[in-house]
Amino acid sequence: MPGLDVLASFAIASLALLVVPGPAVVYIVNRGMVDGRKVALASVLGLTFGNLIHALMASVGISALLIASSAAFNVVKWLGVAYLVGVGIRTLKSKSQGWEFTKQSINAQRAFRQGVAVNVLNPKVALFFLAFFPQFVDQSDVNSEWLTLLFGSVFVGLGLITDTMYALVSSSLKDSLINGRVLAFFRRWVSGAVFIGLGLVAAGVNRA
């Protein structure tokens, strides 16, 4: 079983990725501002299901295959590093604009279905599971598949918490979010810094 320090490091990396505004956060905030709390929370359940699909895919072999091959691991690792740092730089260079949201109203069932699709196709989540996530699991451990499921469950659980917070805040502070510049600042400067930081962390992780 991984030590508490490994679990803590994974949890911190997961939180850093989950809290920065990406496709999932944008979708939740849109639903919260347009349709209210119930629909926003339904979208959170859909997004959580999408995260679960990624976690299950990782647990049945994707991570193990990458860790088994040093060449594959290094290729994916450095592609992931380049992507994260590149996204961070582009985000920092982008102009800070107001929050763009759709005014089309939908029901809770559709919000759930769309939430699943958003996270299944979310490049940020896919990149984490393919490039960052495997580095925390030692395939030589006979329980490596269970370990990937454990780490995946941690990610899914943390995602449910952070997404729920976004849903509650966006549905409660609709006018402030639309008229304010906090989210625009957060999307540019905080997101950019976090992506670059995750890229540098991934670059410094060595395969045991």
pLDDT of residue 125: 83
Per the CB < 8 A criterion, the answer to whether 49 and 122 are in contact is no
pLDDT of residue 208: 45
Between residues 192 and 98, the one the model is more confident about: 192
Taking only the tens place, the pLDDT of each residue in 47-97 is 999 999 988 887 776 555 655 666 766 676 677 778 778 877 887 887 655
Per the CB < 8 A criterion, the answer to whether 127 and 75 are in contact is no
pLDDT confidence of 111, banded at 50, 70, 90? very high
Taking only the tens place, the pLDDT of each residue in 147-204 is 778 888 999 999 999 999 999 988 887 665 555 566 666 666 666 777 787 777 767 6
d(CA 208, CA 206): 6
Per the CB < 8 A criterion, the answer to whether 17 and 194 are in contact is yes
Between residues 1 and 200, the one the model is more confident about: 200
Q: Map out the domains of the chain as residue ranges.
A: 4-204
pLDDT tops 90 at residue 8: no
Give the residue among 194, 205, 204, 196 at the shortest CA–CA distance from 83. Answer: 196
| Secondary structure element (H or E) that encloses residue 101, with its range | none
